[in-house]
Amino acid sequence: MSDGGGQVLPYELVGGEGGLRRIVDRFYAIMDQNAEAASIRAMHGADLGPIREKLFEFLSGWLGGPPLYSQRTGSICITEAHRPFAIGAAERDQWMACMRQALVDCGVSPEVRAMLDEPLFRICDFLRNRD
């Protein structure tokens, strides 16, 4: 899959649907097991299945794959979904640490990880609603 101009989309660079599902599954496994991510884990229910699917759907469209999240919800207002939670720099950094490790664990190349790091950080930072 390309963007029509011959460039391979980030969605394909992470392995398409299968690769992205592995990344999201690994992300939540890390969050669930890592004591350093306890405050962001506490923001989620006991069953991570529903939020796992939402993150997969969001990232699918964000990376240039099928826009599953917006097809299901009609929009992509992630700030509204995160508004009830106290998200500061610590929570942002915990989320990023889990995602960075998931990308490494799933074999995403250093070049692709570097390409995704800053945009992911900007999204996480944008969701902050406290210092």
Domain boundaries, the chain: 10-126
The tens digit of pLDDT for each residue in 62-103 reads: 999 999 988 888 776 788 889 999 999 999 999 999 999 999
Stretch 42-68: mean pLDDT: 95
Residue 25 has pLDDT above 80, yes or no: yes
Q: Confidence class of residue 43 from pLDDT cuts 50, 70 and 90?
A: very high
Asked whether the beta carbons of 127 and 87 are under 8 A apart, the reply is: yes
The pLDDT of residue 1 is 58
Listing DSSP states for 82-131 in one string gives HTTS---HHHHHHHHHHHHHHHHHTT--HHHHHHHHHHHHHHHHHT----
Asked whether the beta carbons of 96 and 120 are under 8 A apart, the reply is: yes
**Dist. CA 116–CA 10, nearest whole Å:** 8
Query: How far out from the chain centre does Cα 61 lie?
Result: 11
Q: Which residues, in sequence order, are bridge partners of residue 8?
A: 2
Enter the DSSP assignment of 106: T
What's the pTM value of the predicted model, to 2 decimals? Answer: 0.92
Q: What integer best gives the mean pLDDT of the chain?
A: 93
CATH superfamily of 10-126: Globins (1.10.490.10)
The pLDDT of residue 68 is 94
More confident residue, 78 or 124: 124
Coil, helix or strand for 44?
coil
